[in-house]
Amino acid sequence: MAETNDAPLSASQKSRIRRLSQPKEPEPGEEAGELNIVPFLDIITNVMMFVLASVSVTFIVSVESNPPAIGGRGRSDVASKALNLSAFITTQGISLKTSSGNIAPGCQGIGAGITIPMREAGVHDFAAVTNCAKRLKNAAPEFKEETQVTITANPGIEYGTIFDTMDALRKDGEEILFKDVHFGVAR
């Protein structure tokens, strides 16, 4: 055992050590066993500030559309007087079709082919789409009241092209052409 050179403790020192080492009674107003939640609240506040600062906000744009009516409503001679414009977006261009048939290239009457072919730069000609839609709507007095157009796109067509086609068919400057846009499914 190692030798210690400490002097023995006096009676008053031993008494003081005993007194200080014994548990103290809580003072009046101080409750024993109370949980201090201030550090916990500090942590929660810091976590909330971090979450709020790192949350990203996503804005979603929606376009109202109604599904097209299916089936023959009314008499058959009324249906034949309707324009029933449909636009088909392909990688070669935009083809327009009415109840009379396919619109020929250049919007020159009824005929086969892509109505508005792609430009040489490989982009769609939306101004020509607007002009052709306006021409078709003004072709007969009963077409002036038409507000519905159906858009169908081939797989692989970008969303921006679909929206630009929709905008081109909706209005020409301030003049509303076809405000009710419906989406078709390519078969």
In this prediction, residue 42 carries a pLDDT of 95
**CA separation for the pair 29, 45 (Å, rounded):** 29
> What is the third-level CATH fold of 76-183?
Nucleotidyltransferase; domain 5 (3.30.420)
The count of residues in the chain is 187
How, if at all, do strands 180-183 and 175-176 pair?
A: unpaired
Average pLDDT over residues 12-36: 78
H/E stretch holding 102: strand 101-102
Q: For residue 106, give Cα distances in angstroms to 2, 77, 112, 113.
A: 111, 29, 11, 10
Contact (CB, 8 A) for 149 and 180 = yes
Per residue in 78-122, pLDDT (tens digit) is 445 788 899 999 999 999 999 888 999 988 888 888 999 998 888
Residue range 132-174, pLDDT digits in tens: 999 998 888 888 888 899 999 998 889 899 999 999 999 888 8
What residue ranges do the domains of the chain occupy?
A: 76-183
Percentage of the chain surpassing pLDDT 70?
82
Is the model's pLDDT at 65 over the cut of 70?
no
Q: Provide the greatest CA pair distance for the chain.
A: 124
Amino acid in position 19: R
CA dist 63 and 180 (Å) reads: 10
User: In the chain, pLDDT over 90 holds for what percent of residues?
Assistant: 31
Distance, in Å, from the CA atom of 28 to the CA atom of 30, rounded to the nearest integer, reads 5
* pLDDT attached to residue 116: 92
